[in-house]
Amino acid sequence: MNKYRIWALILLVVMVVLGWVVYTKSSYKLGLDLAGGTELVYKANTADVPKEDLDDRLNSLRTLIEKRINPFGVGEQLVQLEGANAFNNEPKLVVELPGVTNTEEAINIIGKTPRLDFRLLTAEGEAALTAGTTTKTIGELFTDTGLTGQYLETAQLTFDQFGGPTVSLVFNDEGSTLFAKITRENLGRVLAIFLDDQIISQPVIQSEIANGEAQITGGFSNAEAKALVDNLKNGALPIPIEHVGTQTIGPSLGASALNAGIRAGIWGFAIIALFLILWYRLPGFVATVALVMYVILSLLAFKFIPVTLTAAGIAGFILSIGMAVDANVLIFERMKEELRKGKNLHDAMHEGFHRAWLSIRDSNVSSLITSVVLFWLGTSSVKGFALTLGLGVLISMFTAITVSRTFLFALSTKNPGKVSGFLFGSGLRARNLTTPNSK
């Protein structure tokens, strides 16, 4: 018993420390419905895409869209693919832009054709780059050469001598003439390559290039280089997309939803704790302490995984609080049955945990299977619900079995009296723990 009391003390200390961490590190990653912003949904038309190329093109599509929404300066933007399944034959692309409410601008930028152009670094720009500091914008440090992607004849994925992916460009006759003139007249200068107003390469002109061929070495991954080639060749996205849905949530509405979710969680926890303590007394109090540990561990998991909390995710968390109590209720009822059979308190607790374990295990495994299926096939909001629910089930198995068991055995006594009978009783009557077969 002393062993349980030592472990109970350790658990209490750990709970206080973790609770302090949760309290002081209370910022969480919030989803669009709580932070406010815009969600755009696009349907990908994959009818003409070969099946063997589908995954690569969808990943290229996502990479390209992520680059296009960078100008919004949104740090928490999310671009995710929802693949085809038994209930949805067409993949969808979901773009979440927290804090962005200009829907029309967002749609225009995502759907536009990428612009490729070449610009010369000015003398002032060279001095600024050498000094390492400037108050000028990128546009003010470079001059336009007039050479753009409209003169492009073809683009191709190639590899350099070190095996790194590069993009080779071949200009048409008009573009070749212009490119030759630029390289001839600006030897030794930086000719930067811009894509959608972002520098992707800054080569120095070493000699005149008269054949109209150029190479972009931007430190790409294979997928990024292929996506760039697809866009430069096709002048469009690797897969045609159709805008099918928009959802805009104001910051005040998101804050209101967040506060409502927090209030629901607090009230739900308080009502459950009150019921447990009134009905199961000391075991109910122990279950409430285990529930506090469960909440702390869940919030830590949300913080450090990290989990993007949405309204659906909070609903999943609140639901899992109730499920965390199920295991305790099952254990306490098994204990009551063993006490009715005449076993002493210590043996009844051992047998109660042992008999309840199989039911708890099967119930939680069923919930985990449901969570996995929802996360696999669900939309983004359903995935948030499934993730918090699944995490809640796993954590509740630890708190309900390990934490509750440790505290209960630490508080039990070998010589129970009337006080113990009352504390370990339930319902409206005290239980006689010293009399066999007591009802």
What are the helix (H) ranges across 25-154?
32-35, 54-68, 103-111, 123-131, 138-141
- Per the DSSP assignment, residues forming a β-bridge with 81 are 93
330-to-321, 336, 349, 427 alpha-carbon distances in Å: 15, 10, 12, 15
Give the pLDDT confidence of 264-281 residue by residue, as tens digits. Answer: 888 888 888 898 888 888
Q: How confident is the model at residue 369 (pLDDT cuts 50, 70, 90)?
A: very high
Residue type, 150: Q
Is pTM, for the whole model, over 0.85? no
DSSP assignment, residue 101? Answer: -
Residue 105 scores a pLDDT above 60: yes
Q: Are 11 and 289 in contact (CB under 8 A)?
A: no
Q: What is the mean pLDDT of the chain?
A: 78
Residue 245 or residue 87, greater confidence: 245
Residue 247 scores a pLDDT above 50: yes
Q: Are 329 and 351 in contact (CB under 8 A)?
A: no
Rounded CA-CA distance 399/124 in Å is 64
Rounded CA-CA distance 145/139 in Å is 13
Judged on CB neighbours under 10 Å (0-12, 13-18, 19+), 201 is buried
* pLDDT score recorded for residue 77: 66
Judged on CB neighbours under 10 Å (0-12, 13-18, 19+), 55 is exposed
- Per the DSSP assignment, residues forming a β-bridge with 118 are 193
Hey, is 213 helix, strand or coil?
Answer: strand
Average pLDDT value for residue range 52-56: 77
Q: How confident is the model at residue 250 (pLDDT cuts 50, 70, 90)?
A: low
323-to-92, 138, 159, 238 alpha-carbon distances in Å: 33, 56, 55, 45
Residue 434 or residue 142, greater confidence: 142
Q: How far apart are the first and last CA of the chain?
A: 27
Rounded CA-CA distance 135/96 in Å is 32
Residue type, 176: S
The reply to whether omega before 306 is within 30° of 0 (cis) is yes
Rounded CA-CA distance 395/368 in Å is 12
Residue type, 6: I
Rounded CA-CA distance 156/168 in Å is 5
Q: Are 423 and 413 in contact (CB under 8 A)?
A: no
Q: Are 165 and 222 in contact (CB under 8 A)?
A: yes
Q: Is the dihedral of CA 66, 72, 115, 145 positive or negative?
A: negative
For residues 325-354, b (16+ Cβ closer than 10 Å) or e, as one string?
A: bbbbbbbbebbbebbeeebbbeebbebbbe
Cβ atoms < 10 Å from Cβ of 244: 12
Residue 38 or residue 414, greater confidence: 38
* pLDDT score recorded for residue 437: 44
Average pLDDT value for residue range 51-60: 77
Residue 187 or residue 239, greater confidence: 187
Residue 145 scores a pLDDT above 70: yes
Hey, is 248 helix, strand or coil?
Answer: strand
- Per the DSSP assignment, residues forming a β-bridge with 221 are none
